[in-house]
């Protein structure tokens, strides 16, 4: 799960907000700075927007705080920002908040809460959420152990080319856990 948290990269925000042209330009300037590694500039662009409730800026600023990029590392602040952005429908912020709960970073470790949070973006088709929720179901962490559900979630993420989900699904197929044993299909997922 920790590797997944590190691998979840900054992605464009799914929720579109009605922004003024200067606010939109400022967000885009922050995103461009983030993508080129100028994290201090990204912070300067996003901080004022985040304070006014811009969900995309809250998500971006949360990533900076989580990773300590351009700001001191502060997982608790990241969780606050992800919670605010997630409440406004930013799927990747919901995923990040769920992962923080699963790992106990910035919030108390609570795998049941992680599963509850991750279920929303997983249902909406987010591959990272599907993979993470699948792992919780496979291991019975925070939810009842349900390898069949884990296999379905892994498959949904694997079909979106999520490498870790492809491997996890392949492992279940080889062992016949949660799904019919199918070594040929497992080999296909391992090759992807």
CA 40 to the chain's CA centroid: 23
Q: Model pTM?
A: 0.86
Q: How many structural domains comprise the chain?
A: 2
Same structural domain for residues 103 and 150? no
- C-alpha–C-alpha distance, residues 103 and 42, integer Å: 26
- C-alpha–C-alpha distance, residues 113 and 93, integer Å: 15
Same structural domain for residues 150 and 184? yes
Same structural domain for residues 121 and 189? yes
Task: Examine the fold and report which residue of 108, 140, 169 is the final residue of a domain before the chain moves on.
Answer: 108
CA 149 to the chain's CA centroid: 19
pLDDT 10s digits, 62-76: 999 999 999 999 999
Same structural domain for residues 123 and 104? no
Task: Examine the fold and report which residue of 52, 81, 108 is the final residue of a domain before the chain moves on.
Answer: 108
Same structural domain for residues 121 and 52? no
Residue 34 and residue 12 in contact, taking contact as beta carbons nearer than 8 Å: no
Beta strands in the chain (DSSP E): none
Same structural domain for residues 100 and 156? no
Confidence of residue 2 (pLDDT cuts 50, 70, 90): low
Residue 33 belongs to some domain of the structure: yes
The tokens describing 147, both together, are 């390898």
pLDDT at 6 over 90: no
pLDDT 10s digits, 32-63: 999 999 999 999 999 999 999 999 999 999 99
- What are the counts of helices (DSSP H) followed by strands (DSSP E) for the chain? 11, 0
Residue 172 belongs to some domain of the structure: yes
Residue 181 belongs to some domain of the structure: yes
Average pLDDT on 128-144 reads 98
Residue 46 vs residues 18, 19, 147, 164, 188: alpha-carbon distances, Å: 16, 13, 41, 31, 43
DSSP state, 171?
H
Q: What is the CATH number of the domain that holds 72?
A: 1.25.40
The predicted pLDDT at position 12 comes to 38
pLDDT at 126 over 70: yes
Structural domain of residue 80, as residue ranges? 20-108
């Amino acid at each position: 799960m920790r590797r997944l948290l590190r691998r979840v990269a900054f992605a464009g925000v799914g929720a579109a907000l009605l922004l003024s042209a200067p606010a939109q330009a400022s967000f885009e300037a922050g995103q461009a700075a983030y993508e080129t590694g100028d994290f201090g500039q990204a912070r300067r662009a996003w901080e004022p927007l985040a304070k006014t409730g811009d969900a995309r800026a809250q998500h971006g600023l949360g990533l900076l705080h989580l990773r300590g990029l351009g700001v001191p590392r502060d997982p608790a602040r990241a969780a606050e920002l992800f919670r605010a952005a997630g409440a406004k429908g930013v799927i990747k912020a919901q995923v990040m908040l769920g992962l923080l709960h699963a790992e106990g970073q910035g919030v108390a470790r609570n795998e049941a809460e992680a599963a509850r949070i991750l279920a929303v973006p997983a249902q909406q088709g987010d591959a990272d959420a599907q993979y993470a929720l699948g792992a919780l179901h496979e291991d019975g962490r925070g939810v009842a152990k349900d390898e069949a559900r884990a296999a379905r979630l892994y498959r949904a993420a694997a079909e979106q080319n999520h490498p870790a989900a492809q491997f996890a699904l392949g492992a279940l197929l080889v062992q016949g856990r949660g799904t019919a044993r199918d070594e040929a299909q497992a080999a296909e997922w391992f090759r992807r």
